[in-house]
Amino acid sequence: MEQALQAIREVPAPFRTDSLETDDWRVAACAVAGPGHHARGLGCDDSFAWQTHGQWLVACVSDGAGSAPHGAIGARIGARTVCDVAALLLPDDLATPDDQAAVEQAIAIGVGAARAAVERDARDRGAHLRQYHATLVGIVAKGTEALLFHIGDGAGMAFGRAAGDGATATLSPPENGEFSNQTTFFTLPRWRDYLRFTSTGGFDMAALMTDGVTPFALDRGEQRPVAGFVDPICATLDKVAAPIGALALHALLDRPDVRAACDDDKTILWLARIGAAPVEADPSAAAPARRPKIDAVTYVLHRRRRCRRARRAASCG
């Protein structure tokens, strides 16, 4: 019976939402299974996590590789362990992530701990580490300063409320392998070579996403956020309590037309620094019957139609 219950617990859910409200931070996140997984009755291989320590926040999203049988487990272990370990190691007397070396060390130790935890799970199952391949996209933040960390594809971005334009964000773009359909993972032997950091300077909001979202959120060169997608999300979530924001993300990512626009699992983790904008809803209040609408859907569908026209033109040529 216990083995059966354990097996049930390990089956990835078709979607997951969660949120956080503290005196310093507001976080909303959602992960939704892609059409391929949904059609086969499988859950979402993406995962997300966060941890706070004093005024510090560490948040992370992870995408389990579709070719890895235990990729979903690798993503869950990776995101959770990196956040928990790194948060504990961040010095209380460090005012901001400006002391980048200390923060980078805490993250590197967290990633190493995550890899070790995955190795233990692989030994218990008689599996190989390559069967747990997963990416990592994360952020360490305190006050108005933040540091993005990244292994693999997906994207992280941070920006100020006053900018009013997602295209001005500090971006940690996807990194692929030798070929465009390859990427790197924290479970690879050379993971330290693939771990990269991006300092954001001053920021108010940030977004972390897996590669199921980047086709909409980044331009074709994957070097600039697309304001038409990013700005409506930030404008909506910055005005509501975090639990409602998580529901709004689910309403966006779970639309049939948005699902169909990209076959991959889709995850967005959005966070905001408390203090620069009021929250219009009581975080303890029940969610309204009608979820807030994120106008980014219009952009997603426009981009999908544009891709279809391009494919038709190419086939006619």
258 pLDDT band, cuts 50/70/90, is confident
CB atoms within 10 A of CB 302: 12
Domains of the chain: residue spans and CATH: 12-316 (3.60.40.10)
User: 102: Cβ–Cβ under 8 A, 6 or more apart, which residues?
Assistant: 90, 91, 94
Are 248 and 296 in contact by the 8 Å Cβ rule? The answer is: no
| Residue 294: partners with Cβ closer than 8 Å, 6 or more residues away | 232, 233, 236, 237, 248, 249, 251, 252
**129-183 tens-digit pLDDT:** 999 999 999 999 998 889 999 999 999 999 887 654 444 689 999 987 554 567 9
**Separation between Cα atoms, residue 69 and residue 64, nearest integer Å:** 9
Q: Inform me whether the pLDDT recorded for 276 exceeds 90.
A: no
Tens of pLDDT, residue by residue over 98-130, are 678 889 999 999 999 999 999 999 999 999 999
Q: What is the mean pLDDT of residues 28-37?
A: 87
Question: For the chain, what's the residue count?
Answer: 317
What is the model's pLDDT at position 261?
77
pLDDT above 80: residue 260: no
Separation between Cα atoms, residue 8 and residue 276, nearest integer Å? 43
CA distance 90 to 85: 9
Mean pLDDT of the region 262-285: 70
Separation CA 231–CA 164 (nearest Å): 7
Asked whether residue 45 carries a pLDDT value surpassing 80, the answer given is yes
* The pLDDT of residue 159: 87
Mean pLDDT, all residues of the chain: 81
Rounded CA-CA distance 285/272 in Å is 20
What is the pLDDT, as a whole number, of residue 40?
Answer: 64
